[in-house]
Structure 1
Amino acid sequence: MDYIKPPQLIEDVANTGAYKSTLSIKDLLIKGILSGAFLGFATTLAFTAAIDTKLSIVGAFVFPAGFVFILLLGLELVTGNFAMLPLAKIRGLTSTWNVIYNFFWAFLGNLLGSILYGVLFYIAATKLGHLTDGPMIEKIITVAEGKTLAYKSMGGEGIILSVTKAVLCNWMVTLGAFMAFVSSSTIGKIAAMWLPVFLFFAHGFEHAVVNMFLIPTAMLMGAHISFGDWWLWNQIPVTIGNFIGGFVFTGLALHLVYKKRKKDSISQTASAEGLETRG
């Protein structure tokens, strides 16, 4: 059996979080850049599938491919780290400073990788700027404007909505990151992590790293989005929501559940040994 039971899974995730907090700046940046680019690839794949089939659910089904690359290669995705590293801190395996250190450099790496892929995709999709319309260009612009200008038009309620959708998103994304530890086989890992990520994308929730690619690429393609629109109405509130969703609903929740179960298990073992001794 290659199934890893939840208490051991949480221990493995915490140890991985502690390891991630010790990586060099160079490693964090390179791994972060690759992760940002891979999620960009996954996003354009999903849009291509949705456009070709006229079924958005098909796009959502293929999107997790990029996430699989990131987890199997042990790269740095700041949204996944929002659950893993605080878990390591709670369990005394790393420091608050090391957690913040990882978040900053992983975020920067993800941003650079997302923009890098965005520029390259812009060149390919627009034929060096000569093509200004088409299904993919229209899709990217429409989705990006819906993630910025639509929130802006709602004012304060738009911020609440974007944060809420970000919480829901990273609840599933971090669950996917944790589920990668549920099996010791490659196929088992892929199947387990695929499901939560598919759920998030199918619902159209807000993911900070996906938006690092999507919104600036739409801006290059002519979307009426300013730098302020991108950061004030999406990137900042979505990053905050992603942190809350990952830390509270995955990292902290599973820590509390399986910390208790681990103690109960030790107590039950001790009781059983006591009974055997008395017997």
Structure 2
Amino acid sequence: MAIVSPNQVVESMIQAGEGKAKLPIKDLLIRGALGGALLGFGTTLAFTAEVQTGLGIVGALLFPAAFVIIILLGLELVTGSFALIPVAVMAKKATAAQMMKNWFWVIIGHVLGAVMYAILYIIAVTQLGLVNDHAVATKILAVAEAKTLGYKSLGAEGFLVVFVKAMLCNWMVTLGAVMAMTTKSVIGKIAAMWLPILIFFAQGFEHAVVNMFVIPAGIILGADVTITDWWVWNQIPVLIGNLVSGVLFTGMALYYTHKKAESIIILELPQTKAAVPSTQR
């Protein structure tokens, strides 16, 4: 299981960010929708495990499976792109306009895919509304209210709390995307990605794309949450918090400590003198 050097990892981040920035809108929507739906699958898997065992850590151990599928299939996850595309912009391999286009259309795709999965999942577990006491459905409803009304009840402090939890979340999620680049073997990539995603999910931090599934699903199930509650008290501050930590703590931090350091080392290498032909000695 060969390990890729940090400098090479940063170069891979730049290349990945460049590729994402230049995708057409059609691909951003499709890959974003698949990414949103797959994180919905991962969330219901984690909730199912928690309900069955009574241990949240069991669900956290399983949730990264969805993230792994997204990365290995080259799908879009805006939270990972919050770190990857900015480094491509810093390296002048992509433009700010391309970056914003990616983020906008992938978010639209995420919402469509996550809500689609929410509808299909609720049809399955409630048998078209005939079952009202499904344990996972009850869990989703409670989580949706906690992620919105819970912060709303704190007032202005609620914005700070949800913002910080979003920052902590995406610090780990972006590291998950980057850790996939630290090795070339599939097993190595899976193991490397699993660790940071487990860390974020086990501690209940706020992930924008997971919430694009959980909160709409809770609303459909009857949670006392409005669309305004969803976006004002969770989705918008979580997206901003995810963005800030992705750019600062992963993208810029790794770029400036490895890519820039590499450039400085190259510039400081002593210039070797050209050999003088023997006839001129």
Work out whether the TM-score is over 0.5. yes
CA–CA distance in structure 1, aligned partners of residues 89 and 161 of structure 2: 30
Give the corresponding residue for 2:206. Answer: 206
Aligned counterparts, 1:101-250, within 5 A: 101-250=101-250
CA–CA distance in structure 2, aligned partners of residues 233 and 201 of structure 1: 20
Q: Deviations over 1:192-215 (max 9, x none)?
A: 011000000001000000000000
Give the corresponding residue for 1:85. Answer: 85
Q: Is the 8 A contact 1:82 1:247 kept in 2?
A: yes
Which residue identity lines up with residue 39 of structure 2 in the other structure?
Answer: L
Large movers: runs of 4+ above 2 Å: 273-277
Aligned counterparts, 1:21-60, within 5 A: 21-60=21-60
CA–CA distance in structure 1, aligned partners of residues 167 and 223 of structure 2: 26
* TM-score of the two chains, using structure 2 as the length reference: 0.95
Which residue identity lines up with residue 165 of structure 1 in the other structure?
Answer: K
CA–CA distance in structure 2, aligned partners of residues 206 and 259 of structure 1: 30
Q: Is the 8 A contact 2:10 2:259 kept in 1?
A: no
CA–CA distance in structure 2, aligned partners of residues 120 and 196 of structure 1: 29
CA 265–124 in structure 1, closer or farther in 2 if over 3 Å, else same: same
Per the alignment, in what secondary structure is the counterpart of residue 154 of structure 1?
coil
Q: Is the 8 A contact 1:132 1:221 kept in 2?
A: no
* TM-score of the two chains, using structure 1 as the length reference: 0.95
CA–CA distance in structure 1, aligned partners of residues 23 and 118 of structure 2: 26
Shift of 1:11: 0.6
Which residue identity lines up with residue 254 of structure 1 in the other structure?
Answer: L
Unaligned stretches of 5+ residues in structure 2 = 276-281
CA–CA distance in structure 2, aligned partners of residues 199 and 84 of structure 1: 20
Q: Deviations over 1:37-61 (max 9, x none)?
A: 0000000000011111111001001
Q: Is the 8 A contact 1:32 1:106 kept in 2?
A: yes
CA–CA distance in structure 1, aligned partners of residues 40 and 224 of structure 2: 21
Indicate the structure (1 or 2) with the bigger Cα radius of gyration: 2
CA–CA distance in structure 2, aligned partners of residues 276 and 176 of structure 1: 46
Unaligned stretches of 5+ residues in structure 1 = none
Identical counterparts, % of pairs: 52
CA–CA distance in structure 2, aligned partners of residues 120 and 244 of structure 1: 33
Shift of 1:274: 4.2
CA–CA distance in structure 2, aligned partners of residues 221 and 134 of structure 1: 11
Shift of 1:275: 9.7
Per the alignment, in what secondary structure is the counterpart of residue 153 of structure 2?
helix
CA–CA distance in structure 2, aligned partners of residues 96 and 232 of structure 1: 26
Q: Is the 8 A contact 1:40 1:114 kept in 2?
A: yes
CA–CA distance in structure 2, aligned partners of residues 103 and 81 of structure 1: 8
* Count of residues in Structure 1 that have an aligned counterpart in Structure 2: 275
Which residue identity lines up with residue 133 of structure 2 in the other structure?
Answer: D
CA–CA distance in structure 2, aligned partners of residues 102 and 135 of structure 1: 37
CA–CA distance in structure 2, aligned partners of residues 75 and 138 of structure 1: 30
Which residue identity lines up with residue 226 of structure 2 in the other structure?
Answer: S
